[in-house]
Amino acid sequence: MKAALNGVPSLSTLDGWWVEGFVDGVTGWTIPTDERLVDDPAEPRRPPSPCNDVLGSRVLPTYYSEPYGVLPLGRSSIVLNGSFFSAQRMVDEYAGRAYGLGFGFRV
């Protein structure tokens, strides 16, 4: 989450906070998970990694398409994820759920 505050688009599987913060092509990219693509050392020919597929087809073209092609993603990451995933919101949500209190911070 700290990277989002610095304008770094994320590339991760949909788990943890990324489930809530993911907007395809706006705040970053997701790596699809498929249990059928388990690495098996006995298997001679494995399918390409889903991570390599996303890197090759989406991430790298965005970085290298134009000199500043990734800047809109960085700005979106700061605006959307940086503003929502903050310690202030976390404390307010915790106080509301645990004690029925709220400090009035709403996004």
Q: What's the mean pLDDT in 79-90?
A: 83
* Mean of the per-residue pLDDT values of the chain: 79
Q: What is the pLDDT of residue 60?
A: 87
The residue behind tokens 């700005």 is 75
Of 65 and 40, which is predicted with more confidence?
65
Strand partners of residue 46: none
**Which range, 40-49, 50-59, 97-106, is most confident?**
50-59
Q: What's the mean pLDDT in 9-24?
A: 85
